[in-house]
Structure formats: structure tokens, C-alpha cells
Amino acid sequence: MTAVPPDSDLDALFVDDTPLLDVRAPIEFNEGAFPAAVNLPILTDQERHDVGITYAEHGQAAATSLGHALISGQTREDRIETWTNYIGASTHTHLYCFRGGQRSQIACEWLAAAGYNVPRITGGYKRLRNHLLDVFKRLPPLLVVSGQTGTGKTLLLEHFSNAVDLEGLANHRGSAFGGKVSAQPTQVNFENALAIAFLKQGSDTDVMIEDESRLIGRINVPPLLQEQMKASPILLLNDSLENRVERIYNEYIEQQWREYQAAYQDDPHTAFESYLLNAIDAIRKRLGGVAHEALRATMTEANAAHAAGKGLDGHRNWIRHLLTDYYDPMYNYQLEKKTGRIRVQGTAAELIDWYREQPSLA
């Protein structure tokens, strides 16, 4: 049984997407995990609970004895077979439990007896998690892509290999209307995936990142990253109002509608209307009562026309007013505080050309 080397080599595990065999209980895995990890527990949630109670009441020896009794015989053989089936397709698999203690040690011993020498990560999940949190203390130089709502900041990032997509990792498009049909990750999983994304970028180049507020949906941007974003140079993306309306319409209405059709086949109209109305209601205080009611009425009219088979086009009306009356004034106010950090501004094509002409911004 081999153990994983010092912290300096942990980066490679994540950068190379090394397959990870997580033998923690499902309840632990669901609270936080790594993108390349598969949960094949040595103890089920109930078994872990029973062992924990025994440990609290009778001590470690009794708990260990109960653990062996719970996963003996055919149960043990079944779990070993599950592990070996996974390892057989993943030749460089590493294994861990929460702290690199008894569970991972026993799992590795059983696997070794079956002919599989699987590296065990000393310190377990806790060590790996802390290692990723430390990534935010050594972030590379950042270039923040900013711009009014609908200018296509996320689309611009797709042109750069040195970009980290916060909204993609958070599974949210940003803003009150950014929620997707599929759920956002847990905060821990977002942070783990984000740290790995930075590790994959390396430390010898600047990293492009979209200007975000503290929250992306219900996900918090890590405080250390927030601080660095607030002090980093800005690339300001510009586009016309009509282009922005059309871009938002395509992404937040047409694309979102297709997602709702697939997810709510029995009644997608009701679910889609609820998504839109809940989003506009979420910003009622910021809009003010009169503006909120007017926009909500326009949105309701567009929803009714869509339900009647007249298409989605009516949604462009409230999108245009929401941009000009709400998002643009709010963004312009915030931009006034950042003008000293603007390195360049222009259309997407102009920003791409400008960046390609820079020898290094790191």
C-alpha cells in the first residue's frame, strides 16, 4: 500500500484529473467532493451512523469490531468487487476517506489482498480540500471582463484558453434571471472545481475572468478571489442596445424555454412562467413598485401570447425596458467606481485583437 507524496505533488492529481475513489459515506460525499471523484463507500450512511454511536458509547475498539462485523462475508466481497470494477477502468486511481484513517487503510488492505495496489491519500479528503482552499491564497494575475448586461461577457471568454468561467462552474447565468433548470452545485463543490480550474491555468500567465458580484445565484465567490478581482485591470466590453436585447432574448428566453420543455414535458408553460415571474418579483424593491408592476404586466402579456401559440417574441419588450431602466443605470453607477482600472474598452472583436497584441499582462 503506497501513500501519496507531499503537498507539492497534490496539484498534479487535480490538474491531470486523476480518478479518485472516495470511500466515505454518501452523506459525506454529497456535502462536498471533487470533480474526478467517484463515491463507492466502505460504509453506508446507516452503517457509519451505527459505528459512530458505538464509538461514542463504547470506544474505538468496539466501533472497529462493529465495522468489521457489518461489512464481513458477502457484503465485504461485494464492496471489493465494486471497487475493483472501477479501478480496472481507471489505472491511476487514488483512494481516500475523510482524514486518511481507518476506512481508507482497511479499503487499501482489502484491495491489496485482491491484487490491487492503490495509492492511499494520507490526510484524506480534508487534506485535499485544504490544499484547494490554499489555491485562493496564490491566485495568478487576473484580467476582469466587465460590461453592461447582455454584452456577451461569457461568450467573449470562450475565445481565450486562459479563462475561468465562474458562471459555468456555478451553473448560473448571473442576475435575477440567471437560474437554470438544473441545480447549482454545493458551495464546497463550486470552490473545489474553481480552485482546480485555476490550477489548470498554471501560474505563468494572467487569467481572464468575468466581473461578478459576491453572489452567483446562491453561490458565494470566495472572498480572496473577490478581493483580487476588485483590484485587477478591467477589459470593458461594449455593444449596442439592440444586440444586447437580442442576446438576452436568445439566451434567457429561447434557450431557457427549450430547457424547460425538456425538463417539464407535462406543463412547460406554467414552469417557465413561474421562473420569469419569480425572477422579476425578486428585484421588486430595486425596481420600485410602479416599474415592477409595469414590467410584470408586459411579461405576463408575453407569457399569455406564448401560451396561445403566438411565439416568444413579446418578451423582447420587457427585456429592453429592464435593461434601459434598471440594469444599465445600476451598472453605470458601479462602473464610475472602477474607471481607473479600465485597461481597454471596445467590441468583442476589438478586445480580442487588443489582447493578442499584448506580449504579456502577467
Residue of 282, 303, 261 lying closest to 215 (CA atoms): 282
Asked if residue 200 lies in contact with residue 355, where contact means CB atoms within 8 angstroms, the answer is no
97 among known catalytic residues: yes
Residue 20 DSSP symbol: E
Asked if residue 199 lies in contact with residue 11, where contact means CB atoms within 8 angstroms, the answer is yes
For 105, other C-beta atoms within 10 Å of its C-beta total: 15
Asked if residue 257 lies in contact with residue 312, where contact means CB atoms within 8 angstroms, the answer is yes
State the Cα–Cα distance between residues 72 and 74, nearest whole angstrom: 6
Cα 44 to Cα 23, 108, 174, 342, distances in angstroms:
10, 18, 37, 53
Q: Which is the catalytic residue, given 37, 97, 144, 194?
A: 97
Amino acid at the residue 180: K
Residue of 199, 177, 140, 154 lying closest to 279 (CA atoms): 177
Residue of 117, 123, 79 lying closest to 97 (CA atoms): 123
Residue 250 DSSP symbol: I
Cα 186 to Cα 31, 193, 214, 220, distances in angstroms:
7, 11, 16, 10
3-state secondary structure of 206: coil
Give the helix/strand (H/E) hosting 240.
none
Amino acid at the residue 358: Q
Residue 144 DSSP symbol: E
Instruction: List, by residue number, the catalytic residues.
Output: 97
